[in-house]
Amino acid sequence: MGIVIRDKVFTIHTKNSTYQLKVDDKGVLLHTYYGARTDETDYSYRIMPADVGFSGNIAVTDDRTYSMDYFPQEYPVLGSGDYRVNCLEMDLGHGVKDCMLFYDSYRTYSGKYSLSGLPALFAGENDNVETLEIVMKEDKEEIYVHLLYGVFFETDIITRAAFIENKSGKEVRLSRVMSLCLDFARGDYDMIHFHGRHANERNMERVPLFHGIFEQRSTRGTSSHQHNPFVILADKNTNEEMGECYGAALLYSGGFHIQTEVDQLEHARLVIGIDDSELDWRLADGDIFTAPEVMLGYSKNGFGSLSHKYHNTVFRHLIRSAWKDRQRPVLVNNWEATYFNFNGEKLLEIAKQGAELGLDMLVLDDGWFGKRDDDYSGLGDWNVNEEKLGCSLKELVDNVNNMGLSFGIWVEPEMISEDSDLYRAHPDWALAVPGREPVRGRSQLVLDMTRDDVISYIEGRLFALLDSANIQYIKWDMNRSLAAAYSAGLERERQGEVRHRFVLGLYRVLEDLHTRYPDLLIEGCSGGGGRFDMGMLYYTPQIWCSDNTDAIERLRIQYGTSFAYPMSSVSAHVSVCPNHQNGRTTPFKTRGICAMQGTFGFELDLSRMSDEDKMLAREQVKTFKKHYRLFQFGDYYRITSPFDNPDFTAWEYADKNGREAYLAVVFTDVHGNPLPKLVRFQGLIPEAVYKIVQDGNAVEPRTGAALMNGGLLLPIPEKNYDSTAFYISVEE
């Protein structure tokens, strides 16, 4: 069993980790241990009581050595005398945030809890998954905090979530409700986080924790390009293959807040949850507020092992799409080929070229609806512009299907243009402060997803679109952040609820789409990677990784993404050169190898490709389809870092039994009189002998031990941004 309870000591085991909490003799819930798999010893012996001074003592004791200000806790609150970052801030009616929680009860059960209206990991029919629920009660009021723990034994993941239940007979106000606190007995960790900007997302940065508060957050209403709701705490010497590290990923697609603090005793605390910068939630008597889920992972074998735990858990227990186990289509998207300047004839020409190259799908991007020849108008008017297409959408789709391709389409349902029929009819449907000029982004406004009438309109237009033709894929985009987000549908006193209610409205529409069209493939997008998070993966099994399609910059973007997110969720395409974002020219071979690191597709005008590039494209499509299951289900290894190695970036897929692997290398710099370079494989069978094919040519076989320890010598690059790839398989 994963959960063992003795004398109010709760010990949670996964295959390779242990997590422990304890109710002490005063009813306080302490955190006592999280790390490598161990036994059920009561690890509270590691807590040293002391009179530190200027640290308050709770009312149930006169013991000056007992203070919430330095004890490790499961769910610290403001008002308890703990001056560190906390999980709950609540006004119980006094105008002051004052709260104290004590243990009330617990229950355990087989299977996994769910969260109403929010994404959460799920258990399969035969999975070894358990739930622990611990209930804490406020000292003076009938307010209960339910702490939820989901235990995924096989994949080594523990989930945390919480909900606040008000039975006090009055309204209370919540200004901060976090999902997780994790206290550590030491503070000398490094923090790994993933920052960026539009077209430059998820850059890995590693910094030492310091005395005080270090935070990452998004106040943008989305998880954002600028920061990602996933962090790692690691020992100083932890690398890909060795060392302790802890991961925490929030399953939420709105603004978030992550804080770490090293306190006066040099202990570290990690707190993670939704953005609380504008939160003011009125919780009525009888109501519940639910905080999103967090995925916790621990590894004593470095970042690579931690990533595998996340990848396996996301695939098995988060992604629900029917496409999870299917071979997803290799597609061509017309955006960088045509932008807004297209018609039906041009689209069919791209489709014809795609069919000849062995592609599976044509995706029609922005510009097919309403008055939409630029990005200043039309959003919200989801009616097909048949004059522009020269036919109905059904006729276009039927013609594409007759060429042997399926069809997908771009939508941006959360947005509205001021120059649109929808805005002229319903200006109050946009989030904007009355009497003030709205804050615009990309010359557009945001629809109020907190309103039932707005959601009904969006769903009605999407359902009509999907029912009108054989559409098998949609790309769901969002191209701005929230700002001055006032809802005309809520009274003044509830405007502090808008941002979270917006996310709940988004999830409601996506859930209804999933239910009504179970075979629909949905790709998430927010100007590329502005909403690349675990919450979206619950509804969309793949996400457009970045609007930056340059292969060399994608090396960094996809590297950072891979720490938490499986590469089967990373949408990546071959684009034209010179690249539209930075003007770089990269060999077609290299562009293909980089795009095959993800879901693989094309983002260019196929009719303008040279014969040589078309030949390479056909071979790339064949290679990707041949090795699809390896790319989709294999273990992913970061062989080198594009942040640390200026000469080349290498990555590998190895199947889980080690019998085959694919290793790719992109050279990012070239030198005169170059030095010899080696790459080492991972995840192989040491005693097995492997056939080796490099760029289609057979190489002398080697043992797994040789490939993992001695490695392979890389060829000298023949030109700037050259690349090479090795496929190996066990000799039968």
Domain ranges within the chain, ordered by starting residue:
3-317, 329-629, 637-730
Q: Encode pLDDT of 484-508 as tens digits.
A: 999 999 999 999 999 999 999 999 9
CA distance 180 to 296: 9
- Average pLDDT, integer, range 618-624: 98
- Average pLDDT, integer, range 358-366: 98
Q: Encode pLDDT of 681-707 as tens digits.
A: 999 999 999 999 999 999 999 999 999
418: pLDDT confidence band, cut at 50, 70 and 90? very high
Q: Which of 427, 423, 430, 412 is CA-nearest to residue 369?
A: 412
Q: Which of 661, 699, 657 is CA-nearest to residue 680?
A: 661
> Is 212:262 a contact under the CB 8 Å cutoff?
yes
Helix, coil or strand: residue 445: strand
Q: Encode pLDDT of 512-562 as tens digits.
A: 999 999 999 999 999 999 999 999 999 999 999 999 999 999 999 999 999
Contacts of residue 330, Cβ cutoff 8 Å, sequence gap at least 6: 358, 359, 360, 361, 600, 601, 602, 621, 624, 625
> Is 146:163 a contact under the CB 8 Å cutoff?
yes
What is the reported pLDDT for 126?
87
In the sheet with 574-575, reading across from the earlier edge strand, the strands are: 570-571, 542-544, 521-524, 473-476, 406-411, 361-364, 331-333, 601-603, 574-575
Q: How many helices (H) and strands (E) does the chain have?
A: 14, 38
Helix, coil or strand: residue 510: helix
CA distance 244 to 262: 18
Question: pLDDT at residue 604 above 90?
Answer: yes
The catalytic position among 419, 547, 550, 635 is: 547
Contacts of residue 61, Cβ cutoff 8 Å, sequence gap at least 6: 26
- pTM for the model: 0.98
What is the reported pLDDT for 541?
98
Identical fold, 3-317 and 637-730: no
> Is 224:479 a contact under the CB 8 Å cutoff?
no
CA distance 2 to 40: 11
628: pLDDT confidence band, cut at 50, 70 and 90? very high
What is the reported pLDDT for 250?
99
Architecture of the domain whose range is 637-730: Sandwich (2.60)
Q: Is 532 exposed, middle or buried (0-12, 13-18, 19+ CB in 10 A)?
A: buried
CA distance 546 to 393: 28
307: pLDDT confidence band, cut at 50, 70 and 90? very high
What is the reported pLDDT for 538?
98
> Is 445:398 a contact under the CB 8 Å cutoff?
no
- Average pLDDT, integer, range 85-101: 96
Contacts of residue 529, Cβ cutoff 8 Å, sequence gap at least 6: 196, 201, 202, 225, 543, 544, 545, 546, 547, 557, 561
Question: pLDDT at residue 260 above 80?
Answer: yes
CA distance 31 to 72: 5
Does the annotation count 477 as an active-site position? yes
What is the reported pLDDT for 283?
98
Question: pLDDT at residue 1 above 90?
Answer: no
CA distance 3 to 76: 23
Of 122-131, 425-434, 586-595, the poorest mean pLDDT is in: 122-131
pLDDT > 90 in the chain, percent: 99
Q: Encode pLDDT of 140-167 as tens digits.
A: 999 999 999 999 999 999 999 999 999 9
CA distance 101 to 338: 59
What is the reported pLDDT for 235?
98
Structure tokens at 584: 């770089």
* C-alpha of 296 from chain center: 14
CA distance 299 to 573: 32
- Tell me the pairing of strands 361-364 and 406-411: parallel
Structure tokens at 581: 């974002």
Q: Which H helix or E strand runs over 353? A: helix 344-357
Q: Encode pLDDT of 553-583 as tens digits.
A: 999 999 999 999 999 999 999 999 999 999 9
732: pLDDT confidence band, cut at 50, 70 and 90? confident
> Is 216:202 a contact under the CB 8 Å cutoff?
no
Facing residues of 77 across strands?
88
Angle at 302 between CA 216 and CA 715, to 5 degrees: 105
| Sequence letter at residue 253 | S
Angle at 279 between CA 262 and CA 260, to 5 degrees: 10
Q: Which of 396, 393, 410, 413 is CA-nearest to residue 335?
A: 410
What is the reported pLDDT for 622?
98
Question: Where does 262-327 have alpha helices with state H?
Answer: 302-317
CA distance 620 to 332: 14
Does the annotation count 547 as an active-site position? yes
CA distance 27 to 628: 53
- Average pLDDT, integer, range 594-602: 97
323: pLDDT confidence band, cut at 50, 70 and 90? very high
How many beta carbons lie within 10 A of that of residue 324, not counting itself?
Answer: 14
- Tell me the pairing of strands 143-152 and 129-138: antiparallel
CATH of domain 329-629: 3.20.20.70
- Average pLDDT, integer, range 456-466: 98
DSSP character for 113? -
- Average pLDDT, integer, range 440-448: 97
What is the reported pLDDT for 125?
84
b/e code 329-362 from CB counts within 10 Å (16+ = b):
bbbbbbbbbbeeebebebbbebbbbbbebbbbbb
The catalytic position among 276, 448, 477, 550 is: 477
Mean pLDDT of the chain: 97
Query: Of the CATH numbers 2.40.30.60, 2.60.40.10, 3.40.720.10, 2.70.98.60, which one belongs to the domain with range 3-317?
Result: 2.70.98.60
Half-sphere exposure of 164 (CA within 13 A, CB side): 30
